[in-house]
Amino acid sequence: MTDSPGIVVTGASGRMGQMLIRTIQDSSKARLVGAVEREGHAWIGQDIGAAMGGPETGVTVTDDPLEAFASAQAVIDFTSPAATVAFAGLAAQARAVHVIGTTGMTDEDLARIHVAARHATIIRAGNMSLGVNLLVQLTKQVAAALDEDYDIEIIEAHHNQKVDAPSGTALMLGEAAADGRGVDLGAVSDRGRDGITGKRERGHIGFTAIRGGDIVGEHDVLFAAAGERITLRHVASDRAVFARGALKAALWGLGRKPGEYDMLDVLGLK
């Protein structure tokens, strides 16, 4: 078992951090070698297993990412945009594969990740589940098959702790729809309708975000025309689907040449 690739999880106390730690520990293909949290976090210095309320793992939560990354083959990172940009530079320094699940990144953040990918293998996706990545491909196909008589609306729902909107997944689906239609999403995107908005513009792609309770993640892509509607839907009911995808991505990335990849590459869906 000691020969299996070592993985560090950042944001170890988070919803996804804890799910990732459990997923890696249950896997025979990888081992947990580090757990990173921010400076001053109550879990620093504690065994990650004990901090999560279970048996000890021998991995102590640290606030020193570079030291943790130096002993790992891959870093799985579901944190915040600012943290992820910093981790991208450090993972590149440590020559570790960097799997990024963090959403809500600005164009500037993405440009910095692009720079880090000159020296590191980075796999980034707003959604790491197999189901959503299949939905991305289906959305592209349906959008390519239908003309602008079909209004495209993307509706997403998440728990009340989510800080970014639209979700990373909704943006992936919007990009796929725009791609299928051969248009630039930035030019046709309708976000945050409120007040006297005027009639819907033909060819636009609309986004709606619902936030409530403990919804894990739900995405609908609606194609609405006069007389008929098609809805493509994905419902995640367990964060394990994201964690399993992220671990698969980390293992896929080992030995790959530096560059930016996504889950479609990992799943062979391109």
Ligand X SMILES: NC(=O)C1=CN([C@@H]2O[C@H](COP(=O)(O)OP(=O)(O)OC[C@H]3O[C@@H](n4cnc5c(N)ncnc54)[C@H](OP(=O)(O)O)[C@@H]3O)[C@@H](O)[C@H]2O)C=CC1
Residues contributing to the site for ligand LZUJQKHR (CB under 6 A): 103, 126-127, 158, 162, 167-169, 217
- Catalytic residue selected from 158, 219, 234, 248: 158
User: Which residue number places its CB atom closest to ligand LZUJQKHR?
Assistant: 217
> Is 14 a known ligand-binding residue?
yes
| 73 touches, from ligand LZUJQKHR, ligand X, none (C-beta below 5 to 8 Å by class) | none
What Å distances lie between residue 235 and 29, 157, 231, 241, CA to CA? 27, 9, 13, 11
- Token output for 6: 């070592």
Give min distance, CB of 155 to ligand X, in A. 17
270 is catalytic: no
Concatenated DSSP letters for 130-173?
HHHHHHHHHHHHHHHHS-TTSEEEEEEEE-TT---SS-HHHHHH
Question: For residues 180 and 217, which CB has a smaller minimum distance to ligand X in the complex?
Answer: 217
Extract the tokens encoding 138. 């289906």
- Choice from 11, 34, 166, 253 touching ligand X (CB under 6 A): 11
Interaction partner, residue 189 (ligand X, ligand LZUJQKHR, none; CB < 5-8 Å by kind):
none
The Cβ of residue 230 has, within 10 Å, a number of other Cβ atoms equal to: 12
| Residues binding ligand X (CB under 6 A) | 10-11, 13-17, 36-38, 41, 78-80, 83, 101-104, 125-128, 168, 242
Question: Known catalytic residues?
Answer: 158, 162
